[in-house]
Amino acid sequence: MPSLVIRPYTSEDAAAIVDLQVRYASAFPGVAVVPAEMYGDPAFAGGQNILLACDQSGRLLAYAPLFPRPIEGDETDEPHQFWSALVYDPVLDDPTPVLDALYTRLLARARQIWATLPQRQGSPRRAQLSTELLPVETPILDYVHGKGWVNTWNVFQMARDLSTPMPVLPVPAGVEVRQWEMREEAEQRDYLRARNSAFPEAPWSLEGLQHFLQQVLWPCGLVSASALAAGQVVGSVLIYFDPYANARTGRQSAYTEEIFCVASWQGQGIASACIATALRLLQERGMEEARLQVRATNENALRLYQRLGYRVIASSLICSLDL
Protein backbone atom coordinates (compact mmCIF):
# COMPACT_ATOMS: atom_id res chain seq x y z
CA MET A 1 0.00 0.00 0.00
CA PRO A 2 1.52 3.36 -1.01
CA SER A 3 1.89 5.94 1.77
CA LEU A 4 -1.32 7.62 2.83
CA VAL A 5 -2.21 11.20 3.64
CA ILE A 6 -4.75 11.67 6.43
CA ARG A 7 -6.11 15.21 6.40
CA PRO A 8 -9.20 17.24 7.32
CA TYR A 9 -12.08 17.82 4.93
CA THR A 10 -12.47 21.07 3.00
CA SER A 11 -15.36 22.29 0.87
CA GLU A 12 -13.32 21.41 -2.22
CA ASP A 13 -13.71 17.74 -1.26
CA ALA A 14 -17.53 17.84 -1.51
CA ALA A 15 -17.85 16.14 -4.90
CA ALA A 16 -15.27 13.47 -4.08
CA ILE A 17 -16.90 12.59 -0.76
CA VAL A 18 -20.33 12.22 -2.35
CA ASP A 19 -18.91 10.12 -5.21
CA LEU A 20 -17.23 7.83 -2.69
CA GLN A 21 -20.49 7.44 -0.77
CA VAL A 22 -22.37 6.58 -3.96
CA ARG A 23 -19.83 3.84 -4.79
CA TYR A 24 -20.04 2.52 -1.24
CA ALA A 25 -23.87 2.55 -1.29
CA SER A 26 -23.82 0.67 -4.61
CA ALA A 27 -21.69 -2.05 -3.01
CA PHE A 28 -23.79 -2.14 0.18
CA PRO A 29 -27.43 -1.51 -0.82
CA GLY A 30 -29.52 0.46 1.62
CA VAL A 31 -26.72 2.68 2.90
CA ALA A 32 -27.71 6.35 2.82
CA VAL A 33 -25.70 8.98 0.98
CA VAL A 34 -25.20 12.11 3.09
CA PRO A 35 -25.39 15.38 1.13
CA ALA A 36 -22.08 17.23 1.32
CA GLU A 37 -23.90 20.32 2.64
CA MET A 38 -24.49 18.48 5.91
CA TYR A 39 -20.75 18.52 6.57
CA GLY A 40 -20.92 22.27 7.06
CA ASP A 41 -22.58 21.65 10.44
CA PRO A 42 -20.71 23.50 13.22
CA ALA A 43 -20.19 20.18 15.01
CA PHE A 44 -17.71 19.22 12.28
CA ALA A 45 -15.51 22.21 13.24
CA GLY A 46 -14.98 23.53 9.73
CA GLY A 47 -13.90 20.09 8.49
CA GLN A 48 -11.48 19.32 11.32
CA ASN A 49 -13.82 16.55 12.51
CA ILE A 50 -14.00 14.88 9.10
CA LEU A 51 -10.87 12.86 8.34
CA LEU A 52 -9.97 11.90 4.77
CA ALA A 53 -7.53 9.16 3.75
CA CYS A 54 -6.00 9.92 0.35
CA ASP A 55 -3.24 8.35 -1.72
CA GLN A 56 -0.24 10.34 -2.90
CA SER A 57 -2.11 11.44 -6.02
CA GLY A 58 -4.87 12.93 -3.87
CA ARG A 59 -7.47 10.25 -4.66
CA LEU A 60 -9.94 9.78 -1.81
CA LEU A 61 -9.78 6.20 -0.49
CA ALA A 62 -11.82 6.48 2.71
CA TYR A 63 -13.19 9.00 5.17
CA ALA A 64 -14.51 9.16 8.71
CA PRO A 65 -16.82 11.94 9.97
CA LEU A 66 -16.89 12.58 13.72
CA PHE A 67 -19.99 14.25 15.18
CA PRO A 68 -19.61 15.11 18.89
CA ARG A 69 -22.81 15.08 20.93
CA PRO A 70 -21.70 16.20 24.41
CA ILE A 71 -24.16 15.92 27.27
CA GLU A 72 -25.08 19.25 28.83
CA GLY A 73 -25.98 19.67 32.48
CA ASP A 74 -26.28 17.02 35.18
CA GLU A 75 -29.77 15.67 34.48
CA THR A 76 -28.49 12.35 33.11
CA ASP A 77 -25.51 10.07 33.63
CA GLU A 78 -25.41 9.11 29.95
CA PRO A 79 -21.92 9.26 28.40
CA HIS A 80 -20.88 11.94 25.97
CA GLN A 81 -21.57 10.56 22.49
CA PHE A 82 -19.31 10.79 19.45
CA TRP A 83 -21.01 9.52 16.30
CA SER A 84 -18.87 8.37 13.42
CA ALA A 85 -18.68 6.20 10.32
CA LEU A 86 -15.96 4.48 8.32
CA VAL A 87 -16.60 4.67 4.59
CA TYR A 88 -14.10 3.29 2.10
CA ASP A 89 -13.83 2.86 -1.65
CA PRO A 90 -15.16 -0.65 -2.36
CA VAL A 91 -12.74 -1.08 -5.29
CA LEU A 92 -9.89 -1.47 -2.77
CA ASP A 93 -8.71 -5.09 -2.70
CA ASP A 94 -7.81 -4.82 0.98
CA PRO A 95 -9.09 -1.70 2.76
CA THR A 96 -7.59 -2.72 6.12
CA PRO A 97 -4.37 -0.62 5.93
CA VAL A 98 -6.38 2.44 4.94
CA LEU A 99 -8.95 1.85 7.67
CA ASP A 100 -6.21 1.28 10.26
CA ALA A 101 -4.57 4.62 9.48
CA LEU A 102 -7.91 6.43 9.48
CA TYR A 103 -9.14 4.71 12.64
CA THR A 104 -6.01 5.65 14.59
CA ARG A 105 -6.53 9.31 13.77
CA LEU A 106 -10.27 9.06 14.46
CA LEU A 107 -9.69 7.73 17.99
CA ALA A 108 -7.09 10.39 18.66
CA ARG A 109 -9.42 13.17 17.50
CA ALA A 110 -12.35 11.88 19.59
CA ARG A 111 -10.18 11.67 22.71
CA GLN A 112 -8.76 15.12 22.05
CA ILE A 113 -12.26 16.63 21.95
CA TRP A 114 -13.40 14.60 24.96
CA ALA A 115 -10.54 16.01 27.02
CA THR A 116 -11.92 19.52 26.49
CA LEU A 117 -15.44 18.73 27.72
CA PRO A 118 -16.33 19.80 31.26
CA GLN A 119 -16.73 17.23 34.01
CA ARG A 120 -20.36 16.87 35.07
CA GLN A 121 -21.19 17.06 38.77
CA GLY A 122 -21.67 13.66 40.39
CA SER A 123 -21.09 11.74 37.15
CA PRO A 124 -18.06 9.68 36.15
CA ARG A 125 -16.15 10.93 33.13
CA ARG A 126 -17.54 8.77 30.33
CA ALA A 127 -17.67 8.95 26.54
CA GLN A 128 -18.63 6.56 23.75
CA LEU A 129 -17.72 6.42 20.10
CA SER A 130 -20.64 4.94 18.15
CA THR A 131 -21.59 4.07 14.60
CA GLU A 132 -24.73 2.81 12.88
CA LEU A 133 -24.31 -0.05 10.42
CA LEU A 134 -26.63 -2.09 8.25
CA PRO A 135 -26.26 -5.90 8.38
CA VAL A 136 -25.01 -5.80 4.79
CA GLU A 137 -21.94 -3.78 5.86
CA THR A 138 -20.13 -6.90 7.03
CA PRO A 139 -16.56 -5.65 6.32
CA ILE A 140 -16.98 -2.65 8.64
CA LEU A 141 -18.94 -4.68 11.21
CA ASP A 142 -16.11 -7.21 11.31
CA TYR A 143 -13.55 -4.41 11.46
CA VAL A 144 -15.04 -2.55 14.44
CA HIS A 145 -15.78 -5.78 16.30
CA GLY A 146 -12.12 -6.65 15.84
CA LYS A 147 -11.25 -3.33 17.49
CA GLY A 148 -13.32 -4.12 20.56
CA TRP A 149 -16.56 -2.36 19.68
CA VAL A 150 -19.70 -4.00 21.03
CA ASN A 151 -23.29 -4.13 19.79
CA THR A 152 -25.33 -1.77 21.96
CA TRP A 153 -28.80 -1.67 20.39
CA ASN A 154 -30.78 -2.09 17.19
CA VAL A 155 -32.58 0.60 15.23
CA PHE A 156 -35.64 0.01 13.06
CA GLN A 157 -36.22 1.93 9.84
CA MET A 158 -39.96 2.42 9.37
CA ALA A 159 -41.98 3.71 6.41
CA ARG A 160 -45.54 4.98 6.01
CA ASP A 161 -47.30 4.80 2.63
CA LEU A 162 -48.78 8.24 1.90
CA SER A 163 -51.25 7.06 -0.73
CA THR A 164 -53.91 6.38 1.92
CA PRO A 165 -55.94 8.98 3.86
CA MET A 166 -54.33 10.63 6.87
CA PRO A 167 -56.21 10.84 10.17
CA VAL A 168 -57.12 14.10 11.85
CA LEU A 169 -56.55 13.57 15.57
CA PRO A 170 -57.86 15.62 18.51
CA VAL A 171 -55.63 17.61 20.86
CA PRO A 172 -56.30 19.14 24.29
CA ALA A 173 -58.01 22.50 24.55
CA GLY A 174 -55.57 25.36 24.12
CA VAL A 175 -53.18 23.36 21.94
CA GLU A 176 -52.76 24.07 18.22
CA VAL A 177 -50.94 21.67 15.89
CA ARG A 178 -49.79 23.26 12.66
CA GLN A 179 -47.01 23.75 10.16
CA TRP A 180 -44.29 25.85 11.80
CA GLU A 181 -41.30 27.29 9.96
CA MET A 182 -39.15 28.41 12.93
CA ARG A 183 -37.88 31.41 10.98
CA GLU A 184 -37.12 33.64 13.96
CA GLU A 185 -34.30 32.94 16.40
CA ALA A 186 -36.72 33.28 19.32
CA GLU A 187 -38.82 30.49 17.81
CA GLN A 188 -35.73 28.35 17.27
CA ARG A 189 -34.71 28.82 20.90
CA ASP A 190 -38.21 27.87 22.06
CA TYR A 191 -38.05 24.74 19.92
CA LEU A 192 -34.65 23.79 21.35
CA ARG A 193 -35.84 24.34 24.92
CA ALA A 194 -38.62 21.80 24.37
CA ARG A 195 -36.65 19.42 22.16
CA ASN A 196 -33.60 19.24 24.46
CA SER A 197 -35.80 18.67 27.50
CA ALA A 198 -37.17 15.60 25.70
CA PHE A 199 -33.72 14.41 24.54
CA PRO A 200 -31.22 15.48 27.24
CA GLU A 201 -28.88 12.69 26.18
CA ALA A 202 -28.53 14.22 22.68
CA PRO A 203 -28.82 18.02 22.96
CA TRP A 204 -28.86 20.18 19.85
CA SER A 205 -27.17 23.59 19.74
CA LEU A 206 -28.71 26.71 18.22
CA GLU A 207 -25.88 26.82 15.67
CA GLY A 208 -26.51 23.20 14.69
CA LEU A 209 -30.24 23.76 14.28
CA GLN A 210 -29.72 26.91 12.22
CA HIS A 211 -27.31 25.13 9.91
CA PHE A 212 -29.80 22.30 9.45
CA LEU A 213 -32.59 24.71 8.63
CA GLN A 214 -30.51 26.19 5.82
CA GLN A 215 -29.98 22.88 4.04
CA VAL A 216 -31.50 21.69 0.78
CA LEU A 217 -33.16 18.94 2.80
CA TRP A 218 -35.94 21.38 3.63
CA PRO A 219 -38.82 21.79 1.19
CA CYS A 220 -39.69 25.44 0.70
CA GLY A 221 -41.93 26.66 3.49
CA LEU A 222 -42.16 23.30 5.26
CA VAL A 223 -40.13 22.68 8.41
CA SER A 224 -42.14 21.05 11.17
CA ALA A 225 -45.53 20.01 12.41
CA SER A 226 -45.53 21.40 15.93
CA ALA A 227 -47.94 21.60 18.84
CA LEU A 228 -48.02 25.00 20.54
CA ALA A 229 -49.71 25.95 23.79
CA ALA A 230 -49.75 29.59 24.85
CA GLY A 231 -47.21 30.24 22.11
CA GLN A 232 -44.69 27.65 23.37
CA VAL A 233 -43.70 24.34 21.80
CA VAL A 234 -45.01 21.26 23.61
CA GLY A 235 -44.45 18.71 20.84
CA SER A 236 -43.04 18.53 17.34
CA VAL A 237 -42.05 16.50 14.29
CA LEU A 238 -39.35 17.71 11.90
CA ILE A 239 -40.18 17.16 8.22
CA TYR A 240 -37.62 17.02 5.45
CA PHE A 241 -36.53 15.15 2.36
CA ASP A 242 -33.33 14.57 0.41
CA PRO A 243 -33.86 15.65 -3.21
CA TYR A 244 -30.60 13.99 -4.26
CA ALA A 245 -31.66 10.62 -2.88
CA ASN A 246 -35.12 10.95 -4.42
CA ALA A 247 -33.56 11.71 -7.81
CA ARG A 248 -31.43 8.56 -7.53
CA THR A 249 -34.27 6.27 -6.44
CA GLY A 250 -37.09 7.84 -8.45
CA ARG A 251 -39.31 7.68 -5.36
CA GLN A 252 -40.52 10.72 -3.43
CA SER A 253 -39.55 9.81 0.13
CA ALA A 254 -39.53 12.17 3.09
CA TYR A 255 -38.57 11.94 6.75
CA THR A 256 -40.56 12.48 9.92
CA GLU A 257 -37.92 12.65 12.65
CA GLU A 258 -37.13 14.31 15.99
CA ILE A 259 -40.57 13.32 17.28
CA PHE A 260 -41.23 14.41 20.85
CA CYS A 261 -43.74 15.67 23.39
CA VAL A 262 -42.53 17.48 26.50
CA ALA A 263 -43.03 15.52 29.72
CA SER A 264 -45.79 17.67 31.21
CA TRP A 265 -48.00 17.15 28.12
CA GLN A 266 -47.44 13.45 27.51
CA GLY A 267 -50.35 11.02 27.38
CA GLN A 268 -52.73 13.50 25.69
CA GLY A 269 -52.26 12.51 22.05
CA ILE A 270 -49.99 15.39 21.12
CA ALA A 271 -47.23 13.32 19.48
CA SER A 272 -49.84 11.39 17.46
CA ALA A 273 -51.48 14.62 16.28
CA CYS A 274 -48.12 16.11 15.28
CA ILE A 275 -47.23 13.01 13.25
CA ALA A 276 -50.63 12.90 11.55
CA THR A 277 -50.32 16.59 10.63
CA ALA A 278 -46.79 16.00 9.28
CA LEU A 279 -48.04 13.12 7.13
CA ARG A 280 -50.84 15.25 5.68
CA LEU A 281 -48.39 18.08 4.88
CA LEU A 282 -46.10 15.66 3.06
CA GLN A 283 -48.99 14.08 1.22
CA GLU A 284 -50.15 17.52 0.03
CA ARG A 285 -46.68 18.10 -1.42
CA GLY A 286 -46.66 14.92 -3.47
CA MET A 287 -44.51 12.74 -1.25
CA GLU A 288 -45.10 9.01 -1.65
CA GLU A 289 -43.80 7.75 1.69
CA ALA A 290 -42.60 9.00 5.06
CA ARG A 291 -39.73 7.39 6.93
CA LEU A 292 -38.35 7.47 10.44
CA GLN A 293 -35.94 5.64 12.72
CA VAL A 294 -36.68 4.29 16.18
CA ARG A 295 -34.72 2.29 18.71
CA ALA A 296 -35.96 -1.31 18.58
CA THR A 297 -36.41 -1.41 22.37
CA ASN A 298 -38.66 1.68 22.40
CA GLU A 299 -41.89 -0.30 22.50
CA ASN A 300 -44.16 2.67 23.23
CA ALA A 301 -42.89 4.57 20.19
CA LEU A 302 -43.12 1.46 18.01
CA ARG A 303 -46.77 0.96 18.95
CA LEU A 304 -47.52 4.62 18.27
CA TYR A 305 -45.92 4.56 14.83
CA GLN A 306 -47.59 1.29 13.89
CA ARG A 307 -51.00 2.69 14.88
CA LEU A 308 -50.35 5.57 12.50
CA GLY A 309 -49.53 3.21 9.62
CA TYR A 310 -45.74 2.90 9.72
CA ARG A 311 -44.16 -0.51 9.16
CA VAL A 312 -40.66 -1.81 9.75
CA ILE A 313 -38.74 -2.08 6.49
CA ALA A 314 -35.16 -2.62 7.72
CA SER A 315 -32.99 -2.64 10.80
CA SER A 316 -29.51 -1.45 11.61
CA LEU A 317 -27.07 -2.03 14.43
CA ILE A 318 -25.46 0.52 16.73
CA CYS A 319 -21.91 -0.46 17.69
CA SER A 320 -20.02 1.45 20.38
CA LEU A 321 -16.60 1.73 21.98
CA ASP A 322 -15.99 3.22 25.41
CA LEU A 323 -13.33 5.88 25.08
pLDDT at 222: 77
Range of the domain at 210: 158-318
Residue 14 lies in a domain: yes
Section 108-130 average pLDDT: 82
Same domain for 171 and 130: no
Residue 153 lies in a domain: no
The Cα–Cα gap between 292 and 100 comes to: 33
Same domain for 312 and 194: yes
Same domain for 141 and 33: yes
Residue 208 lies in a domain: yes
The count of domains in the chain is 2
Position 139: which residue type?
P
Helix (H) or strand (E) holding 17: helix 14-27
Tell me how crowded residue 280 is: count the other CB atoms within 10 A of its CB: 17
Residue 323 lies in a domain: no
Range list of β-strands (E), the chain: 5-8, 50-54, 60-69, 80-84, 87-88, 127-133, 150-161, 175-180, 224-229, 232-240, 253-261, 289-295, 311-322
* pTM of model > 0.85: yes
Same domain for 175 and 313: yes
The answer to whether 296 and 154 have CB atoms below 8 angstroms apart is yes
Residue 113 lies in a domain: yes
Same domain for 245 and 101: no
Residue 11 lies in a domain: yes
Question: Nearest CA to 238 among 258, 213, 253, 217?
Answer: 258
The Cα–Cα gap between 291 and 177 comes to: 20
The model's pLDDT over 18-56, given as tens digits with 9 standing for 90+, comes to 999 999 999 999 898 888 888 999 999 999 999 999 999
Last residue of a domain, one of 98, 113, 148: 148
Section 110-117 average pLDDT: 92
Same domain for 192 and 172: yes
> CA torsion angle for 230, 257, 275, 244 (degrees, to 10)?
120
Same domain for 183 and 62: no
Same domain for 166 and 137: no
Same domain for 121 and 85: yes
Q: What angle do CA 251, 252, 255 make, to 5 degrees?
A: 120
pLDDT at 76: 60
CATH number of 215's domain: 3.40.630.30
Residue 9 lies in a domain: yes
Same domain for 188 and 134: no
Residue 76: CA atoms inside 13 Å, Cβ hemisphere, count? 15
Taking phi first (over 0 means left), then psi (-120 to 50 degrees means alpha), and beta for anything else, what does residue 182 get?
Answer: left
Return mean pLDDT, the chain: 90
Cα–Cα distances in angstroms (integers) from residue 252 to residues 160, 258, 294, in the given order: 12, 20, 21
| pLDDT tops 80 at residue 242 | no
Same domain for 307 and 275: yes
Last residue of a domain, one of 148, 166, 188: 148
Same domain for 181 and 117: no
Section 286-311 average pLDDT: 94
Question: Nearest CA to 296 among 132, 167, 142?
Answer: 132
Last residue of a domain, one of 148, 183, 198: 148
Residue 214 lies in a domain: yes
